[in-house]
Chains A and B, each alone.
Chain A
Amino acid sequence: MTNSLTIVLSGEAGQGLQTIEELLMEALAKDYYVFSTKDVMSRVRGGNNTVEIRIAEEPVYAFRHTIDLLFLLNNHSLYRLVERVKEGTVIYGEPAFVDMEVVEQKKCQFNSLNIMALAKEAGSQLLANIVLFGFISGMLKVNRNSCHAQIERRFSRRGEEVILNNKTAFDLGYENGLNYLSPVEIKPAEDKIPSKILDGTTAIGIGSIGGGCNFIASYPMSPGTGVLVYLAKQSKNFEILVEQAEDEIAALNMVLGAWYAGARGMVTTSGGGFALMEEAVSLSGITETPCVIHVAQRPGPGTGLPTRTEQGDLNLVVYAGHGEFPRIVFAPGNLEDAVRLSQKAFYLADKYQVPVFILSDQHLLESLGEMPPIQLEDHYLEKFISKTEENYKRYILTEDGISPRGIPGFGAGLVKVDSDEHDESGQITEDYNVRIKMNDKRLNKGQMLLDDYESAELIGSKEYKHLIVGWGSTYGVLKEYVQTTERNDVSFLYVKQVHPLHPSLKRFFERVENVIVVENNATGQFANLLKLDLDVKVNHKVLKYSGEPFSIEEVEQRLEEVIS
Chain B
Amino acid sequence: MKKFEVDSKTDIAWCPGCGNYNIRTALISALQELDIEPTNVVFSSGIGQAAKMPQYIDANYFNGLHGRGLPVAIAIKASNPSLTVIAEGGDGDMYGEGGNHFIHNIRRNVDIAHIVHNNMVYGLTKGQASPTSQKTFVTPVQINGVINEPFNPLAVALSLGATFVGRAFSGDLEQTKDIIKKAIKHKGYALVDIFHPCVTFNKRNTFMWYKNNSYYVDDTYDPTNLNMAMDKVLNTDKYALGVLYQVEGRPTFEEQLYLYREDNTPIIYRNRAIDKVNQLLAI
Residue positions of A touching B, CB distance < 8 A: 194-196, 206, 209-210, 212, 214-215, 217, 234-241, 243, 245-247, 249-251, 253-258, 260-263, 265, 279-280, 283, 287, 339, 371, 373-378, 381, 407-409, 411-420, 426-428
Residues of chain B whose beta carbon lies under 8 Å from any beta carbon of chain A: 13, 38-40, 42, 44, 47, 52, 54-55, 58-65, 68, 70-76, 78-80, 82-83, 100-101, 103-104, 257-259, 266-272, 274, 276-278, 280-283
Indicate if the CB atoms of A408 and B80 lie closer than 8 Å. Answer: yes
Q: Which of B55, B75, B271 meets A254, CB within 8 Å?
A: B75
Chain B residues near A262 (CB-CB < 8 A) = 79-80, 266, 268-269
Q: A206-B281, A263-B268, A419-B65 are in contact. Are A409 and B83 (CB under 8 A)?
A: yes
Q: 12 A-B residue contacts at CB 8 Å?
A: A206-B280, A215-B78, A249-B71, A254-B75, A257-B44, A260-B62, A261-B79, A262-B268, A283-B65, A376-B274, A409-B80, A417-B63
**How many Å lie between the Cα of A415 and that of B38 in the bound state?**
10
Decide: B64 and A287 in contact? CB cutoff 8 A.
Answer: yes
Q: How far is the CA of A378 from the CA of B272 in the complex (A)?
A: 9
When A195-B283, A376-B278, A419-B65 are in contact, do A260 and B267 touch as well, CB less than 8 Å? no
The distance from the CB of A252 to the nearest CB of chain B, in whole angstroms, is 8
Q: Across chains A and B, which 9 residue pairs bring their CB atoms closest together, nearest first?
A: A257-B75, A262-B268, A257-B72, A246-B104, A261-B79, A408-B60, A253-B71, A254-B75, A378-B274
Are the CB atoms of B42 and A408 closer together than 8 Å?
yes
Contacts of B79 in A (CB 8 A): 215, 241, 257-258, 261-263
Candidates A195, A235, A239, A412; contact of B270 at CB < 8 Å = A239
Are the C-beta atoms of A427 and B39 separated by less than 8 Å? no
Besides A250-B68, A287-B64, A411-B39, 9 new A-B residue pairs in contact (Cβ under 8 A), listed by A number: A246-B104, A253-B68, A261-B42, A408-B80, A414-B58, A419-B47, A419-B63, A427-B55, A428-B13
| Inter-chain contacts of B62 with A (CB < 8 A) | 256-257, 260, 287, 417
Q: Judge whether B39 and A256 touch: CB under 8 Å.
A: no
Shortest A79–chain B CB gap in Å is 39
The answer to whether A238 and B272 touch (CB under 8 A), given A287-B64, A376-B278, A414-B60, is yes
* Across-interface contacts of B60 in A (CB, < 8 A): 408-409, 414-416
- Please give me the residue from chain A that is nearest to B41 by CB atom: A408
State A194–B269 Cα separation when bound (angstroms). 37
Known: A247-B100, A257-B76. A235 touches B258 (CB 8 A): yes
B76 touches A377 (CB 8 A): no
Assess the A196–B75 pair: CB atoms within 8 A.
no
Majority SS at the chain B contact face: helix
Chain B residue nearest to A413 in the complex (CB): B39
Q: How far is the CA of A339 from the CA of B280 in the complex (A)?
A: 11
Looking at the complex, which one of A215, A255, A381 makes contact with B272 (CB distance below 8 Å)?
A: A381
Contact across chains for B259 and A239 when beta carbons are under 8 A apart = yes
Q: Classify the secondary structure of A's interface with B.
A: mixed
How far in angstroms is the closest Cβ of chain A from B69? 9
Q: How far is the CA of A296 from the CA of B38 in the complex (A)?
A: 41
B55 touches A376 (CB 8 A): no
Min CB distance, A322 to chain B, in Å?
11
Q: Which of A194, A210, A257 contacts B71 (CB 8 A)?
A: A257
A532 CA / B4 CA spacing, docked (Å): 50
CB contact under 8 A between A408 and B68, given known A206-B281, A246-B104, A250-B104: no
Q: How far is the CB of A434 from chain B (nearest CB, A)?
A: 14
| A376 cross-chain contacts in B, Cβ below 8 A | 274, 277-278, 281
B267 and A418: CB pair below 8 A? no
Q: Report A273 CB to chain B, min CB distance, Å.
A: 14
Q: Are A250 and B71 in contact (CB under 8 A)?
A: yes
Find B280's partner among A209, A287, A412, A426 (CB 8 Å cutoff): A209
Task: Give every chain A residue within 8 A of B71 (Cβ-Cβ).
Answer: 217, 245, 249-251, 253-254, 257
Closest CB in chain A relative to B229 CB, distance in Å: 25
Asked whether A258 and B75 contact (CB < 8 A) given A214-B272, A235-B258, A408-B39, the answer is yes
* Bound Cα distance from A457 to B103, whole angstroms: 49
B96 to chain A, nearest CB (A): 14
Bound: A265/B74 CA distance, A = 14
Residues of A within 8 A of B268 (CB): 214, 261-263, 407
Q: How far is the CA of A245 from the CA of B78 in the complex (A)?
A: 13
* B42, B47, B83, B100 pick with most chain A CB within 10 angstroms: B42
**In the bound complex, how far is the Cα of B277 from the Cα of A238, in angstroms?**
8
Min CB distance, B53 to chain A, in Å?
Answer: 12
Set A236, A287, A408: member contacting B76, Cβ < 8 A: A408
Q: Which residue of B lies closest to A261 (CB)?
A: B79
Q: Is the CB of A261 within 8 A of B76?
A: yes
Contact A253–B64 (Cβ < 8 Å): yes
Least distance between B36 CB and chain A CB atoms (Å): 11
Known contacts A209-B277, A419-B64: does B78 contact A258 (CB below 8 Å)? yes
Q: Do residues A254 and B74 form an inter-chain contact, with CB atoms below 8 A?
A: yes
Minimum distance in angstroms from A277 CB to a CB of chain B: 11
Q: Which residues does chain B contribute within 8 Å of A265, judged by CB atoms?
A: 75
- Provide the residues of chain A in CB contact with B283, threshold 8 Å: 194-196, 373
Q: Are B258 and A279 in contact (CB under 8 A)?
A: no
A215 surroundings in chain B (CB, below 8 A):
75, 78-79, 267
The answer to whether A257 touches B74, judged by C-beta atoms less than 8 angstroms apart, is yes
Closest B residue to A394 by CB, please name it.
Answer: B60
B221 to chain A, nearest CB (A): 33
In the complex, the answer to whether A250 meets B39 with C-beta atoms within 8 Å is no
Task: List residues of chain A with CB within 8 A of the CB of B269.
Answer: 262
Return the chain A residue nearest B75 by Cβ. A257
Of B38, B63, B83, B277, which is within 8 A of A414 by CB?
B38
Q: How far is the CA of A243 from the CA of B101 in the complex (A)?
A: 13
> Which chain A positions have C-beta within 8 A of B103?
246
CA of A258 to CA of B257 in the docked complex: distance in angstroms? 15
Our pick among B68, B259, B274 for the contact of A241 (Cβ within 8 Å) is B259
Residue of B with least CB distance to A212: B272
Residues of B contacting A414 with CB < 8 Å?
A: 38-39, 58-60
- Taking a contact as CB atoms under 8 Å apart, the answer to whether A409 and B74 are in contact is no
Q: With A378-B274, A419-B47 as given contacts, are A256 and B72 in contact (CB-CB < 8 Å)?
A: yes
Closest residue of A by beta carbon distance from B13: A428
Q: Give the distance in Å from the alpha carbon of A250 to the alpha carbon of B139 in the complex.
A: 30
**In the complex, A235 Cα to B40 Cα: how many Å?**
27
A420 in contact with B76 (CB, 8 Å) = no
Question: Nearest Cβ distance between residue A393 and chain B, in whole angstroms?
Answer: 13
Task: Using known A-B contacts A250-B104, A418-B63, A420-B63, determine if residue A255 contacts B39 with beta carbons closer than 8 Å.
Answer: no
B100 A253 Cβ-Cβ under 8 A? no
